[in-house]
Amino acid sequence: MADAQSLRIVHCFRSPIGGIFRHVRDLAELHSAAGHQVGILCDSSTGGAHEDRLFEQIMPFLSLGITRFPIGRAVGLGDVKALVESYKLIKELKPNVLHGHGAKGGVIARLIGSLLRVRGYRVARLYSPHGGSLHFRRGTLSGQSVFMAERLLERMTESISFVCDFERQTYEAKIGTPHCNAVRVYNGISERDFGRIPVAGDGVDFAYIGMLRDLKGPDVFINAFAETERLVGRPLSGLIIGDGPDLARYRQMVDQKGLVRRIGFQAAMPIAQAFALSNIVIIPSRAEAMPYIVLEALAAEKTIIASRVGGIPEILGTDSEALVDPGRADLFAATMAKALTDPEWAKRTMPTPDAFRARFSASVMARDIEALYRSQLARI
């Protein structure tokens, strides 16, 4: 395929929240700037005002438009309707690249791409797990069913693009070595995201920024915050920033621990605005692939304390003092106390801005993904 030829790229994913949405937005913007035509297909039942603003921002880069309709999180009969709607839309768009993100997005892109291939369309089918189905456990019936589906879908896949080595290793351990092409392309941060974001006058000691569900560990943050106060011997301040299904339960937890005056809640907001509220960001996830919040925080020159999960050690270094065993509120508290009381702690533990920038750039990510698209199209 000639390098000068414009590609028609459609990204399929379920929830327009979090890292997947960020990944797709960055790719769409950079690939559009490179002359390609890009579109998005995703769920209409998730996201709020913050995500609506993000859609408005990315719309100028989506010449193939945005289409949203209900796509359930759990597998169900509604998936049949979603697949039918997806097929109608994608057929009209005539893409030559279908890139599925996450479990549901991967199913849509690969099944619809395969139907189009049967009808004579020349379309490359790519898949990025972003964690997704890899969070299931091997010893469960649901996990075995999902992994079997993933193995079957490999037959409808030109290439799998993993966002970190951990994701690829997890895939191989749970599903097996891919029978299709497989590569690792790190997530990257755009140029406008680099640069220190100072804390406003009303900033807090610690911030949790992310989805409000147990997988991401807000409960660990709350417990660790209470223990950190005990360790440093004085009241502290914290914020939980984000939206999600378990908000009411976390509010109740904060109330029960007597922390209502010291831990506040704010809805999801632009990340730069969130970073202006604290210099120390806590990322207590129980599972991750390659979380953008870590990349974004480091680009903004924030101090982070994170779970030793997923690809986070590939960012901070496997021996980093900033890494904590997942779910261990006591260990998070000990590290939070150090970060707050030792002025040299952040300097010792965080990567330098120059070294970080050289490795995790969105321009490199977009270049490598485009090369992957073209190489797979050339084989069809």
Give just the sign of the alpha carbon dihedral 40, 42, 45, 49.
Answer: negative
Collapsed DSSP state (helix, strand, coil) of residue 27: helix
Collapsed DSSP state (helix, strand, coil) of residue 155: helix
Residues 49 and 159 in one domain: yes
Residues 180 and 237 in one domain: no
Residues 111 and 172 in one domain: yes
In a domain, 211, yes or no: yes
Q: What is the pTM of this model?
A: 0.81
Residues 287 and 348 in one domain: yes
Rounded CA separation 298/194 (Å): 8
| CA nearest neighbour of 101 among 61, 59, 42, 55 | 42
In a domain, 302, yes or no: yes
In a domain, 317, yes or no: yes
Q: Which residue has the higher pLDDT, 94 or 50?
A: 94
- What pLDDT, on the 0 to 100 scale, is given for residue 19? 82
Render pLDDT for 97-134 as a digit per residue (tens, 0 to 9). Answer: 999 999 999 999 999 999 999 999 999 999 999 878 88
In a domain, 353, yes or no: yes
Residues 344 and 325 in one domain: yes
Average pLDDT, the chain: 93
**Structure-token pair, residue 50:** 């913050």
Render pLDDT for 46-80 as a digit per residue (tens, 0 to 9). Answer: 888 888 899 999 999 999 999 888 887 766 667 78
Counting residues of the chain whose pLDDT is more than 70, the rounded percentage is: 98
Tokens 């997890």 locate to 170
Residues 224 and 250 in one domain: yes
Rounded CA separation 251/336 (Å): 21
- The CA-based diameter of the chain, rounded to the nearest angstrom, is 69
- What pLDDT, on the 0 to 100 scale, is given for residue 85? 86
- What pLDDT, on the 0 to 100 scale, is given for residue 46? 85
Residues 158 and 212 in one domain: no
In a domain, 152, yes or no: yes
Domain that holds residue 14: 8-188+361-377
Residues 231 and 170 in one domain: no
Render pLDDT for 178-227 as a digit per residue (tens, 0 to 9). Answer: 999 999 999 999 888 999 999 988 899 999 999 999 999 999 999 999 99
Rounded CA separation 109/100 (Å): 5
In a domain, 2, yes or no: no
In a domain, 1, yes or no: no
Rounded CA separation 81/73 (Å): 14
Residues 159 and 16 in one domain: yes
Residues 166 and 281 in one domain: no
- What pLDDT, on the 0 to 100 scale, is given for residue 2? 38
CB pairs under 8 A, 24+ apart, for 134-138?
A: 134/167, 134/170, 134/171, 134/174, 134/289, 135/215, 135/287, 136/174, 138/174
Residues 105 and 70 in one domain: yes
Render pLDDT for 143-160 as a digit per residue (tens, 0 to 9). Answer: 999 999 999 999 999 999
Number of structural domains found in the chain: 2
Residues 125 and 143 in one domain: yes
CATH number of 238's domain: 3.40.50.2000
In a domain, 207, yes or no: yes
